[in-house]
Amino acid sequence: MKFYVTTPIYYVNDRPHIGHVYTTTIADIVARYHRLCGDDVFFLTGTDEHAAKVVESAAQRGLTPQQWADQNAQAFQETFKKLGIANDDFIRTSEDRHKTKVQQYVGELLQSGDVYLGEYEGWYDAGQEEYLPENKAKEYEFKSPFNGKPLVRKAEKNYFFRLSRYAEPLLQRIADQPDFIQPNERRNEVVNRIREGLNDVPISRTGAGDWGIKVPGDDAHTIYVWIDALINYLSTVDTPERSKYWPADVHLLAKDILWFHAVIWPAMLLALKRPLPAHVYAHGFWISEGQKMSKSLGNFIDLERIDRYVADYGLDALRYYLASNGPLAANDSDFAEAKFIEVYNTDLANELGNLVNRALSMLNRYRQGVVPQTTTADLRAEAEKTFTVYRTSMDKLDLTGALAEVRLFVIRANRYVEENAPWKLAKAPEQAARLDAVLYNLLEAVRLISVALLPVMPTIAGQMRTQLGVGEFTGKLPEELAWGRLPAGTKIGTVAPLFPKKV
């Protein structure tokens, strides 16, 4: 099966921070999970480059917009590479392969009458580069909900997209497929807003200079950056080799940009007569030490901080924290350093690290590091339940739920050690078969846990496998999550702590 997952394409004017890293890491975990299941995966991220702010920032630095965009796109690419993100492509909207497709699709929409030339007057948020509907402008007291600056009354001749045509088809789609927009809270918000009515939306602006994509046949008009940006998801795979990936299986993003993804983009696709993505998933926001992250507070969890966590605790610990404690559901999550350290010490060092270490050390001590034979499968039923829940959770993007389940199994396996006290069994020769069984069950639990953690902590899971002597993972995840695949006679590798304890 094919599986196509996307992240938003990030504004090239920003420095990468924990928000960008989060969505991209979640997408990476989902992509790795599907690859391990044997799917033909395409994972796309990239940068959104045609905003007016890019022209301003470049000018302030004496650079061309392209030079400035090149520098910053590279910063995003390097960051993601450093953070172990295994994306299959990185799309930049200033690339020709994207620009030609945008013109092609907008041309199609002009032909079909879904895009037309009209006049628009309304309340414009210059920072966000978007018009606010009259009722929203009033609600925000004619100030930007993002930066508090006054909205400006603006009139212009524009090309419009006939969004008004698509309210009914969109509502129908959401009714037919309730998990199209997730989580549920977000779907309900979108449905309510569509029911308030949809107006046509301007999709071009004038006077934008050369930075941007022109409306085909009318060079005075530049295609509005949001329309240009949304198209990346399709333009990147609209080639003979990649067309099999469309429609996307999931667009991942945060709640700030859900409207564009759940309403405008699907309506554009309906107008283009292209299949709609299977899911649009909008997670919540990270806040920082209890406060919203903002430029004015200067409290972004920025790259310097991220680098420090990676240096001190390892990249996989950060990935685990993001996935297990992040705002995947409707609520926001607080990124607090103390909490991160607590999760490292508890879930990783005390629970997982300790389990692996004691299981392998006891095998060395009592069986010269060779996995014994047994037919007693004490933990089998619990393992089966754990990994069934794990898989259904992963399949529906509930990474937090999947990891919570794995963690319970780690705790269970640690308790199994206490209950069976192998150190006592080792003293009684008539208990040899029982000791074989206990050791096998523990090591098999460790193997299963390593398989489940591969998408989230690829390096740690790899180390677990090396220490266990089972080598690099080459199988398929669903099969490898079945009980009893650890062969008796396996000689384990060198045992070393996975998570050095921190204070």
The CB-of-129 to ligand MSP minimum distance in angstroms stands at 10
Cβ atoms within 10 Å, residue 426: 17
Number of residues that bind ligand MSP (CB under 6 A): 19
What value, to the nearest 5°, has the Cα angle with vertex 133 and ends 127 and 138? 85
Q: What is the DSSP letter of 370?
A: B
Q: Which is nearer to ligand MSP, 123 or 224 (CB)?
A: 224
3-class SS of residue 246: coil
14 touching ligand MSP, by CB under 6 A: yes
The CB-of-8 to ligand MSP minimum distance in angstroms stands at 4
Residue 278 CB-half CA count within 13 A: 14
Rounded to the nearest 10°, the torsion over CA 244, 247, 248, 249 is: -100
Binder of ligand MSP out of 22, 124, 344, 440 (CB under 6 A): 22
The CB-of-51 to ligand MSP minimum distance in angstroms stands at 8
**Which residues is 132 bridged to in the sheet?**
123
- Nearest residue to ligand MSP, using CB? 19
256 touching ligand MSP, by CB under 6 A: yes
266 touching ligand MSP, by CB under 6 A: no
Stretch that binds ligand MSP, among 239-247, 252-260, 358-366, 471-479 (CB under 6 A): 252-260
Stretch that binds ligand MSP, among 19-27, 343-351, 354-362, 432-440 (CB under 6 A): 19-27
The CB-of-224 to ligand MSP minimum distance in angstroms stands at 12
286 touching ligand MSP, by CB under 6 A: yes
- CA dist., res. 250 & res. 241, Å (int): 20
In the block, residue with structure tokens 């918000």: 189
Q: What is the DSSP letter of 482?
A: S
The CB-of-238 to ligand MSP minimum distance in angstroms stands at 15
Stretch that binds ligand MSP, among 3-11, 135-143, 156-164, 269-277 (CB under 6 A): 3-11
Q: Which is nearer to ligand MSP, 38 or 275 (CB)?
A: 275
CB 302 within 8 A of CB 15: yes
19 touching ligand MSP, by CB under 6 A: yes
Q: Which is nearer to ligand MSP, 234 or 498 (CB)?
A: 234
323 touching ligand MSP, by CB under 6 A: no
Cα torsion 308, 309, 312, 318: sign: negative
User: Burial letters for 211-227: b for 16+ Cβ neighbours within 10 Å, e otherwise?
Assistant: bbbbbbeeeebbbbbbb
254 touching ligand MSP, by CB under 6 A: yes
The CB-of-255 to ligand MSP minimum distance in angstroms stands at 8
CB 113 within 8 A of CB 252: no
Q: 155 to each of 138, 141, 372, how far by Cα in Å?
A: 18, 20, 79
257 touching ligand MSP, by CB under 6 A: yes
- CA dist., res. 418 & res. 412, Å (int): 10
- DSSP class per residue in 302-340: BHHHHHHHHHHH-HHHHHHHHHHHS--SSS-EEE-HHHH
Q: Which is nearer to ligand MSP, 3 or 22 (CB)?
A: 22
229 touching ligand MSP, by CB under 6 A: yes
253 touching ligand MSP, by CB under 6 A: yes
23 touching ligand MSP, by CB under 6 A: yes
Q: How far apart are the first and last CA of the chain?
A: 45
- Judged by the rule CB under 6 A, the positions of this chain that interact with ligand MSP are 8-11, 14, 19-20, 22-23, 48, 229-230, 253-254, 256-257, 285-286, 293
